[in-house]
Structure 1
Amino acid sequence: MTHPPAGFDTASIGRWISQRFGVSDFDVEVMSIGRSNLTFTITVDGRPRWVLRRPPLGHEGGSAHNVAREGRIMAALTDSAVPVPTVLDIVDDPEVLDVPFVFMDHCPGFAINTPSDWSSIPDESKPDCAFGMIDALAAIHSVDIDAVGLGDLRRPGGLIERQLRRWLGQVEQIATRETPMIHEVHDVLLKSMPDPAGSPVGLAHGDFKPNNMIFAPGGGLNAVVDWELTAVGEVLTDLGYFIAMLTVPEEYTSIWVPTPADGFPDTEALIARYQEVSGHEVHDVGYYSAFAMWKLACIREGVYTRLKTGQMGDLDLDPDVAGEGVEDLAGQALTLLERP
C-alpha cells in the first residue's frame, strides 16, 4: 500500500493480520473518519473481508470513543435476536496499534445516508424496511443483559437523570456565551421527567437512526452498528430519539433521514409497531423526543464553541448559523414539552 490512511499502521497491523489469519496481501479503504471512531475496510483480492474500528485521531479517553466497550457489546449480542456484525477480536496491544481496536467480519450492505440510498430500496419494500428498524429496536430492548454478560453496564439512577446532569455539565464547561434556552429546557425536562419506575428499563442503543444500520439491497436489516453511546436505562429514550431524528431539520444534524413523503411510515404507525413487537406500553413519546432534541442542542453548542475558538478549522461552517441552531433545537424541544 503506497499511502496508508491516517490512523491505520499498515506494517504492525499487517503483521498481526498475517499471524492471526494467514493473510499478508490486503488493501485498506476508509469507511468513515472524523471526530467519531474511525472505521476502515480491509479488502482481500478486491473484496471487502474485514472491518477495523479504532478511536479517533488524538484520542484522549472518554466513554463515547471506547471501542473496546463497543466491541464487547456487539460480541455479547452475537447470539441474540439483535443483528450485529461478527466481532473476531478486540485488541489492546501497543505493539499492534497505539490504541485499542475492534476487528470484525465485513457486513455486506449499505447505510441510509442519502435519498439515493433510500430510493435504491424498492417502493413496495420501504414500509417493511422501516418496520424492520423498529423490530430491531424492540429486540435490543428485550435483551436479557445479565444473560449476555452486560449487567455491569448498569449505573445508579435513571438514564435521563444521568444524561441531563452530564450534558448540562459539558455545556457549562465549554460554553463561551450564555445559554439560557439550554438551561430553561433542562429545567423543564428535569421537572417533568416521567417516573423511572413506570418506564421499561433495558439496553438502550443511544444513537439509533437509519445511518447506523446496514441494509441488504431489498431493505432487510443486516446489522445495527455504532454502539458507542449504549447504556442501560429507560429504553423509550431510543424510540423518542428515533422519532426526533425523523423530524429535526437536516441542517442541524448533517444527517438525511426518510420521511412519510419518501414512503416512510408516520410516527403513529412506528409507535404502534414498537408497542406491538416490544410488549412495552409506549408513553411520553413527546417528552423523550424533546429530550433527544435538547441533547442535539447541547451538541450543537459544542460545535458552535469549537468553531468560534478555531478548533474545527477543517469545517466550512458559519459559527453564527451553528449558534442559531442551538436556539431552534431547544425551542422545538420546549414546544414538544408544552403540548398537552
Structure 2
Amino acid sequence: MTQTPAGFDAQSIGRWIEQRFGIDDFDVEVMSIGRSNLTFTITVDGSPRWVLRRPPLGHEGGSAHNVAREGRIMAALSDSAVPVPNVLEIVDDAEVLDVPFVFMDHCPGFAINTAEDWARIPDGPGPDDKRSCAFGMIDTLAAIHAVDIDEVGLADLRRPGGLIERQLRRWLGQVEQIAMRETPMIHEVHDVLLKSMPDPAGSPVGIAHGDFKPNNLIFSDSGSVNAVVDWELTAVGEVLTDLGYFIAMLTVPEEYTSIWVPTVEDGFPATDELIARYQEVSGHEVHDVGYYSAFAMWKLACIREGVYTRLATGKMGDLDLDPEVAGAGVEELAQQALTLLEQA
C-alpha cells in the first residue's frame, strides 16, 4: 500500500477490510470532489473498489457532518426510484476509526466538475445527449421529492417548523460559532430572508437533498444519472428549496463554487425549460424560485465561510487548497442573494 492520506488510519481500517472482505492489499486516495466530509477511494488491483466517507478532521459543525445519518439515508433509498451508491456498512467503532464512517461500493461513472467532463456527454439531438442529460437531472430531483419518507423508513427526519426557517437559524448559528472573520452581509441577508420567507404551508414537502448540483451526481457515458451523492445536508421540508439551489448553482460564478457548471451555450436548457420540466414531472406548482435561489446563494456563502475556517485550521485532511481562495466570495454571494430578493 502507498502512503495513505490524513484521516485514513491505514492500519486499523486495513485490518477491518481484511476481516470483512479478505483483502489486505489496496491503495487509497482523496477524491477530488467534496469540501466537507472527507471521501476516499479505495483501489484494489488498479481499479476503484470502494469508497469510504468520514467527517472532517477535528469534527465540528453539528449534524451537517453526520456521515452515519448520510449513510442511513442512502441505504433507505436503495429500493426507491432514486439512484444512490450501494452502502455496504455504516461503521461506528472506535477500534476501527475514531469517528463513524460509511463504507460503500464504488459507483462507476463520473461527476461533472469541468467543461471536459460535460464534453463526455454526446451532443444532440438524440435520446442520449446533453439536453437529455440535463432533463435527467431534473427528473432525478423530482424522484427524490416523490419519495414517501414513511415508506422508506425516514419519518424521523421530520422536524417542527418549516425547512427555510430552521436552516436560517441553523446556518447563521454555525457561522457565528466557527467564523474567524467578520461577516456583516451574511447577517443582513439572513434578516431579509427571514422577513420575506414564503408561507411553508403553500409549498410541497418531502426529502430535500440540500446540495443538488451536477458535481454531486455520477453520470454514465450516455449522460444518465448513475447515483446521487453527498447527502449530508438532506432534510425534510419545502422541496422547492432544491430547485432554487440547482438553478442558483447554474448562475453563480465558478470562482465562488469551485466547480464548473454548463450553460445554455454549452447545450444546457434554459432556466424556464428546467422549471417547466420539473413542474411537469413532479406535479408540483413552482413558485418563489427567486426567493429559493437567493436562499441558496446565502447558504452557499455560509458554507464557504465554514470551508474557509476548516481549511485555515487544518481540518480538511490533505486537500491542498488555499483558504483565502476557497473562502473567497462570501460577501459577494450574500450580495447576489440580496439582489435576487430585491428583484423577486
Which deviations, in whole Å up to 9, do the C-alpha atoms of 1:296-325 show, x marking residues without a partner?
233344566778xx5369643558x956x3
Is the CA contact 1:36–1:65 (under 8 Å) kept in the aligned structure 2?
yes
Q: For 1:54-69, list aligned pairs within 5 A.
A: 54-60=54-60, 62-69=62-69
Partner of 1:206: 210
Partner of 1:330: 334
Is the CA contact 2:35–2:307 (under 8 Å) kept in the aligned structure 1?
no
**Amino acid paired to 2:91:** V
**Amino acid paired to 1:75:** A
Q: Find out whether 1:316 has 2:322 as its counterpart.
A: yes
Is the CA contact 1:68–1:90 (under 8 Å) kept in the aligned structure 2?
yes
Which deviations, in whole Å up to 9, do the C-alpha atoms of 1:198-256 show, x marking residues without a partner?
10000000000100010111111100000000000100000000000000111111121
Which deviations, in whole Å up to 9, do the C-alpha atoms of 1:59-92 show, x marking residues without a partner?
2462111111110000000000000000111111
CA distance, structure 2, for counterparts of residue 158 and residue 135 of structure 1 = 24
Query: Paired residues, what number?
Result: 336
CA distance, structure 2, for counterparts of residue 119 and residue 78 of structure 1 = 29
CA distance, structure 2, for counterparts of residue 137 and residue 31 of structure 1 = 24
TM-score using structure 1 length: 0.91
Residues 306 and 88 of structure 1: is their aligned pair in 2 closer, same or farther, counting only changes over 3 Å? closer
Computed over aligned residues only, the root mean square deviation of the Cα atoms, in angstroms, reads 2.3
Deviation at 1:10, TM superposition (A): 2.2
CA distance, structure 2, for counterparts of residue 306 and residue 13 of structure 1 = 24
Q: For 1:108-187, list aligned pairs within 5 A.
A: 108-124=108-124, 125-174=129-178, 179-187=183-191
Residues 317 and 28 of structure 1: is their aligned pair in 2 closer, same or farther, counting only changes over 3 Å? closer
Partner of 1:233: 237
Structure 1, unmatched stretches of 5+, are none
CA distance, structure 1, for counterparts of residue 178 and residue 12 of structure 2 = 37
**Amino acid paired to 1:194:** P
Deviation at 1:31, TM superposition (A): 1.8
Deviation at 1:12, TM superposition (A): 2.0
SS of residue in 1 equivalent to 2:31: strand
The counterpart of 1:268, out of the listed 261, 269, 272, is 272
CA distance, structure 1, for counterparts of residue 29 and residue 297 of structure 2 = 34
Q: Find out whether 1:8 has 2:8 as its counterpart.
A: yes
Is the CA contact 1:215–1:221 (under 8 Å) kept in the aligned structure 2?
yes
CA distance, structure 1, for counterparts of residue 211 and residue 234 of structure 2 = 8
CA distance, structure 1, for counterparts of residue 34 and residue 113 of structure 2 = 16
Partner of 2:192: 188
Is the CA contact 1:174–1:305 (under 8 Å) kept in the aligned structure 2?
yes
Which deviations, in whole Å up to 9, do the C-alpha atoms of 1:23-72 show, x marking residues without a partner?
23322232248751121222222222211111122224621111111100
Is the CA contact 2:109–2:226 (under 8 Å) kept in the aligned structure 1?
yes
TM-score using structure 2 length: 0.90
The counterpart of 1:298, out of the listed 297, 302, 311, is 302
Residues 229 and 107 of structure 1: is their aligned pair in 2 closer, same or farther, counting only changes over 3 Å? same
Residues 10 and 177 of structure 1: is their aligned pair in 2 closer, same or farther, counting only changes over 3 Å? closer
Question: Identity of paired residues, percent?
Answer: 85
Structure 1 residues 238-247 or 47-56, which shifts more? 47-56
CA distance, structure 2, for counterparts of residue 179 and residue 4 of structure 1 = 36
Is the CA contact 1:50–1:104 (under 8 Å) kept in the aligned structure 2?
yes
Residues 18 and 311 of structure 1: is their aligned pair in 2 closer, same or farther, counting only changes over 3 Å? closer
Partner of 1:71: 71
The counterpart of 1:278, out of the listed 270, 282, 286, is 282
SS of residue in 1 equivalent to 2:246: helix
SS of residue in 2 equivalent to 1:42: strand
Partner of 1:83: 83
CA distance, structure 2, for counterparts of residue 27 and residue 332 of structure 1 = 43
Q: Find out whether 1:48 has 2:52 as its counterpart.
A: no
